Amino acid sequence: MEIAIRKVKEGQEDAFATARTTFIHTLKMQEGVQKDWEFKSFFTMPEPDDTDVFVGMTRYESLEAMQAIAGKLMQSPEAGQFFSTFDMKSFVAVQPVDGGDFRLEDHIQNGNVLEVAVRTVKTGSEDEFEPKRRAFFDLIARQPGYLFDREFVDVQTGDKVVLIGWSSMEDFQKGAGFLQGQPQMGDFFGILDVKAYQALMLFSK
């Protein structure tokens, strides 16, 4: 699955929306594309975004199909026009760490909240990642409205990517408020460099 976190350039909101519609239409016509989603971010940290951020997620039938389609579309005028309207905060091509299948539509629906984070482990802290992640995510999983979490790896860089689902905005906000005061969160984030983080609502599918 491909995850693109795009920050709209100032003053380009209308151009972005028009170019995105054209590009996504072209993308969905490609053989090997299984499903595409568009999310709008409503929250990030530590500093808020000063323009809109949209996150596209696309599932392909295989890594080879993704690479072939990317090679074809990146040379197209539709891509050139679309990419000129935003700055890429993060782009990852991910596979589940556990090697299993992942179908996002089995986990979320309209009205749910989805968190996405792209991070690396600080040098020297690699052995701490699994136990500290387990302690923190066990706490997350006990919060009301928690739906799921799944850990991925970026096949290009090895970056660690996580998706976390919540039933509603209210559940997410209550969960986030509680978790920020817990030592498990500080312990886990202390060994990470977070490259990108967004909390999202489904925009289109």
Domains, the chain, ranges and CATH? 2-94 (3.30.70.100), 104-204 (3.30.70.100)
Q: Which residues contact 155 (CB under 8 A, 6 or more apart)?
A: 63, 93, 94, 95
Please state the pTM of the whole predicted model.
0.95
Q: What is the pLDDT of residues 144-176, one digit of tens each?
A: 999 999 999 999 999 999 999 999 999 999 999
Helix or strand (DSSP H, E) at 10: none
User: What local confidence, expressed as pLDDT, does residue 203 receive?
Assistant: 84
Residue that has been written with the tokens 């990030």 in this structure: 44
User: What local confidence, expressed as pLDDT, does residue 119 receive?
Assistant: 98
Greater pLDDT, 203 or 38: 38
Query: How far lies 150's CA from each of 24, 43, 115, in Å?
Result: 25, 20, 11
Q: Which of 138, 122, 157, 147 is nearest to 3 (CA)?
A: 157
Residue 205 has pLDDT above 70, yes or no: no
pLDDT band (50, 70, 90) for residue 30: very high
DSSP per position, 73-103: HTTSHHHHHHHTTEEEEEEEEEEETT-----
